[in-house]
Amino acid sequence: MFDHWLHILAGLTLSLAIGAAPVMAARPATQVAVPVIVYQQIQTPVEQQTVGGATQPDCHLWVVNPTERPNWNSTDCTFTPHPPGWSASIYPWDADDQVMYQVDNAVIAPGASIVIDQVTFADWRDHLWTISSSVTGLTLILSIPELGWMKSGSQQQICAVGPDYDRDSTLLQPIAGSGGGMAVPLTLRLEAKNNTNKTIRKVGLLARVVPDVTTFEDVFCPAGAWINNPGGWESEYIGGPPIEYPYIRWSR
């Protein structure tokens, strides 16, 4: 199953969308600035999935991120290292994993979008994901294509936390090569779209996937952390009732 996801979701899709095309439709390449990964932290073992957590000293008991440690062998704790400088197609999973993208001095034509697709392994430890713009006039959009979930706002920042699957959800699936981990591979899509009839220039974007802690919520989210502004967050179960289906909350 994991190999199937790797084939479909192969890494990070950095592309430009015109209009309201379907998720799988081709996007004309009119982008003048490519999102670049400027920071990445991927930790091993995956603490919320490993017996004993992050400080488990016995590597034979670790659950590992197979995109960060491919071909993991739990017998001798070996794997195939990535080449130096390689960072694409590593999916956040551990509670403390982080990825940050940056776009500088972009030009976005009317109806066009800059889109960042970051695949993640979703389980019961949430991540905060957010995109912010240095200019006004853009529509910022967060979506999860596999779940048919989407929220948008015209502010200069939009945030989501999750999706969070209950430990007992039957939707969790074994992640091949992880050493026994269970999660759901999903695409977190962060998009900045020009819905105006004028070209928007000198656009700076920051997109982040970070741990869900109030410190990051205070810094990155437009309504502030839930402690400071409980009315700033909305929430829902995507697809159905609690336990079985994932829970997500957002602020815009």
* Tens-place pLDDT, residues 23-34: 334 444 444 578
Q: Are 193 and 16 in contact (CB under 8 A)?
A: no
Q: What is the per-residue pLDDT for 34?
A: 83
Looking at per-residue pLDDT, the higher value among 198 and 16 belongs to 198
Distances (CA, A) of 115 to 4, 72, 141, 181, 223: 23, 32, 9, 29, 23
Whether residue 18 is predicted with pLDDT greater than 60 in this model: the reply is: no
Query: What is the reported pLDDT for 228?
Result: 45
**Alpha carbons 165 and 248: distance in angstroms, whole number:** 9
Mean pLDDT, residues 103-126: 95
Cis geometry, peptide bond prior to residue 45 (ω within 30 degrees of 0): yes
For residue 167, pLDDT beyond 60: yes
Of the candidates 240, 114, 125, 111, the residue with the CA atom closest to the CA atom of residue 189: 114
pLDDT confidence of residue 212: 87
Q: Which pLDDT score, from 0 to 100, does residue 87 have?
A: 73
Model pTM? Answer: 0.83
Of 40 and 21, the structure prediction assigns the larger pLDDT to 40
Of 27-36, 132-141, 155-164, minimum mean pLDDT range? 27-36
Number of domains in the chain: 1
Whether pLDDT at 19 is above 80? no
The DSSP bridge pattern shows strands 234-237 and 247-251 to be antiparallel
pLDDT of 121 reads: 97
| Residue in this structure with the two tokens 């590593």, named with its chain if needed | 90
* pLDDT, position 26: 41
Domain range for 148: 2-251
* Residue 16 confidence (pLDDT): 36
